[in-house]
Structure 1
């Protein structure tokens, strides 16, 4: 299946189906595998596959289970791989395209929710991060070393040193057991450098025993 290629905001949809899910983070150029089994989201996949194959991943932040409150900012991804299981589930892979703010939620007849996205604050997401704007790997590795030692975790340090920096940052943001609020701070960090600084802060707060829930 073709990989997504968007270079201008005008190429992105004016309306977007959203998938509220706490703890599941998507970033530009990052891939997120999902197991879809709820009927409303199976319906969503059927619909978006016939169009731009675009879904907005966004964290739920309270409210009812049927219609949870959602964060102000999420990240849209394009379905770049999918298969259907024998019991009717979809196994999909989303590739992150760009983040968005929720401008308004639409009144729709579909069982899944749809919003009007505001892409403008995240135009830079459509471009690769230039080397001159990459964060300092050594500070991140140092914070990660202290974090893994504190939690007695084994780590493949050669992979940490060799992985592309954006891939490493996104993997840690997605994989570390941060709270919903803390993960939302990572999503909303304006640049990769800011995301890395926020990640380092969260790792250091955990090691020092500070209350990460105070991060706003």
Structure 2
């Protein structure tokens, strides 16, 4: 059996940030190395991964007088993450970058091809396992979760309710919904990382519903 194809991805580890495919992640980038990373990804059309972290490898400098000129803490990334293409939204007068990353797929970390000034690694695509026998239940879970989100949003966020009731949103299949729902839902980062690593849309939906249904 042939080895799965790999793709080079630049890594942007951020503690407690877990991103999912088909969602958009806004970033405010000020560290020199990560401003370089963003610009290189744009210039080279390279995928950028925003990944939750395992631990801190090196602490940030204590003197934070000029954070724009100093690299901050260094982190060990999680081994499964989402990656996508970067769009530059704005550059502030002092050089900070406001960008959006349109996440495409999940990937698993492989060997490094670059470590400085930022990390690039060969990564392999992560996909769900087929589960045709769960189509009906997955559809039910999707509807239950969406109804709960509408209830939570209520009158406080009518714009979100409009999105959740739109034909485009309700027409998503359960697998797509199991990722895109995290554009609106946030849980504890470690729990979200667990959901990200699951290879089953049904399992993701069930875990989300278990949490939401326990809320009053």
Contact 2:163–2:169 under 8 Å retained in 1: no
Alignment gaps of 5+ in structure 2: 60-72, 130-134
Contact 1:135–1:192 under 8 Å retained in 2: no
Contact 1:24–1:174 under 8 Å retained in 2: no
CA deviation profile, 1:88-142 (whole Å, cap 9, x unmatched): 111111111211011234453x2212222122x3289xxxxxxx68633322134
In structure 2, what is the Cα distance between the partners aligned to 1:164 and 1:25? 22
Counterpart among 36, 41, 50 of residue 43 in structure 2: 50
Which structure features the higher share of strand residues? 2
| Aligned-residue CA RMSD (Å) | 3.2
Give the paired residue count. 185
Contact 1:98–1:123 under 8 Å retained in 2: no
In structure 2, what is the Cα distance between the partners aligned to 1:31 and 1:193? 22
Aligned residue number for residue 141 of structure 1: 146
| Structure 2 CA distance for partners of 1:107 and 1:44, relative to 1, 3 Å | closer
Show the 5 A alignment for 1:67-146.
Answer: 67-106=74-113, 108=115, 110-119=116-125, 121-122=126-127, 135-136=139-140, 137-144=142-149
Residue 18 of structure 2 corresponds to residue 25 of structure 1:
yes
Residue 203 of structure 2 corresponds to residue 199 of structure 1:
no
| Range with bigger deviation, 32-41 or 191-200 | 191-200
| Structure 2 CA distance for partners of 1:52 and 1:123, relative to 1, 3 Å | farther
- In the superposition, the TM-score normalised over structure 2's length comes to 0.69
Aligned residue number for residue 165 of structure 2: 161
Residue 199 of structure 2 corresponds to residue 190 of structure 1:
yes
Contact 1:28–1:98 under 8 Å retained in 2: yes
- Which structure has the bigger radius of gyration? 2
Q: Report the 3-state secondary structure (helix = DSSP H, G, I; strand = E; otherwise coil) of the residue aligned with 1:47.
A: helix
The Cα shift of 1:170 comes to 4.4
| Structure 2 CA distance for partners of 1:42 and 1:201, relative to 1, 3 Å | same
